[in-house]
Amino acid sequence: MNYERNNLLKDYSTDVQKLFLEMMLEDAASYVRVQNIYNPENFDRNLRTAAAFIKEHSEQFKTLPDRAQIAAATGIKLNAVPDLNEGHYDWFMTEFEAFTRRQELERAILKAADLLEKGDYDPVEKLIKDAVQISLTKDMGTDYFADPAARINKYFNSGGQVSTGWPQMDRLLYGGFSRGELNIFAGGSGSGKSLVMMNIALNWLQQGMSGVYITLELSEELTSLRTDAMLTNMSTKEIRRDIDSTELKVKMVAKKSGQYRVKGLPAQSNVNDIRAYLKEVQIQTGIKVDFVMVDYLDLVMPVSAKVSPNDLFVKDKYVSEELRNLAKELGVLLVTASQLNRSAVEEMEFDHSHISGGISKINTADNVFGIFTSRSMKERGKYQIQCMKSRSSTGVGQKIDLEYNIETMRITDEGGDENGHNKPQSSIMDSIKARSQVAPADSGTGSQPWEKPRPREGHDPLSGKVTADVQSNKLKQLLGQIKSA
């Protein structure tokens, strides 16, 4: 049945609204199909009690009331409509959808006007957007058995599994990150959350993708300077001494990389601020944004609800949902970061209880990683990342060790053997224990037969005397003189 046609009516009078209710009573299936957008508040005041009674009765008793019940309960008489066919119900579906959208939009505009007068701007966009997007369910979903090859190819070819640039992490995630997903890196203060995000962004740039790094904590200049160091393989001190060489190296890399924007936003910005900026970037520069880095989630405020910044659980729940929706809406790779709480400082293993603000953001995120490092680890050139949650793989609890250059702040993946498999990874504590273990006497594959120790050359084990093979003539003459004296 196809009801995607232009609506014919421009005005939905009381008589038309009454006809909608009468047609629903004729065919319960039609009521079920519009149930997700059915709202008694959209009907004229004279019909509202009947519309509400139909909704309440169907929800409580799982069946539609008959006309006699409605007349007795509300005093409103609804007539039978005989001889309806499929075409009539096509008309009903099209017009009822348009009627509902119009009524919801009208009420949203009136409510938005009140909010604007109070200076409460943030909820306005959501009110209007929700009203405009009201529609019946027309997408029947994926027919699982119809075309398996096309279904699988669609997943892997349309934004799925983009390499992080770190082979170990790609293998852990069965290929990498996916567009439309929310990825969170959690770490303590000074653990390098921003550095991890900057390194991933640089990896994607070198793959030819374009993106935006939004920082709510660091300045645009400092974020860019750190990226300079990673990209040019120069320390910030070297960059300061030789700006010309830095500029040359950056411009050379730019020829083979995607486009990149670094934007600083004030703390307490919301997802609408991010969305507006991304739209402006696309309009003014023509950049097709492939990835968005938000540094970091804990500094973003929600749009859809007024929440105190101190109520971290509720705030982070709304923010993580809005960021994930943004990633889906734009079809981009989205990476952000979050703070670990104080209980994680001395821990060697991270779990959900160590995330600041609780589990609300974990429930929403698709992939969550904990960053384990310390000053001594950085000096040794080591970063360790633990998978805390993954919807796309079975890598939860696994760890990967990455190489870190303390001068250039570049994080690279030197793991994996010549066959492309991960080298056995262990925790930092395991590696410390391994260094203190005493190697067994027999490290070979089989036992060796015992051999009698051989005496050192020139040593007679029976006499205890040390003998020497004297070859010098002068030394022989000297010894002869000593004997004859």
Model pLDDT for residues 166-200, shown as the tens digit of each residue: 999 999 998 899 999 999 999 888 888 999 999 99
The CATH architecture of the domain made up of 14-132 is Orthogonal Bundle (1.10)
- DSSP letters for 353-412: GGBTT-SHHHHH-SEEEEEE--HHHHHHTEEEEEEEEESSSS-TT-EEEEEE-TTT--EE
d(CA 442, CA 436): 18
For the chain, domain boundaries: 14-132, 159-434
Which three-class secondary structure state does DSSP give residue 143? coil
The label of the residue with tokens 């027999």 reads: 442
Q: Which option is the CATH number for 159-434: 3.30.420.40, 3.30.230.10, 1.10.3470.10, 3.40.50.300?
A: 3.40.50.300
One-letter amino acid at 89 equals Y
Query: Which residues fall within 8 angstroms of residue 50, CB to CB, at 6 or more apart?
Result: 21, 43, 70, 74, 76, 78
Query: Residue 223 — φ and ψ, nearest 5°?
Result: -60, -45
* 470: exposed, middle or buried (Cβ count in 10 Å: 0-12, 13-18, 19+): exposed
Which three-class secondary structure state does DSSP give residue 123? helix
In the prediction, which pLDDT does 51 show? 96
Model pLDDT for residues 223-282, shown as the tens digit of each residue: 999 999 999 999 999 999 999 999 999 999 999 999 999 999 999 899 989 998 999 999
- DSSP letters for 33-57: HHTTT--GGGS-HHHHHHHHHHHHH
Both structure tokens of 37 = 């957008």
Model pLDDT for residues 38-91, shown as the tens digit of each residue: 999 999 999 999 999 999 999 999 899 999 999 999 999 999 999 999 999 999
More confident position, 346 or 64: 64
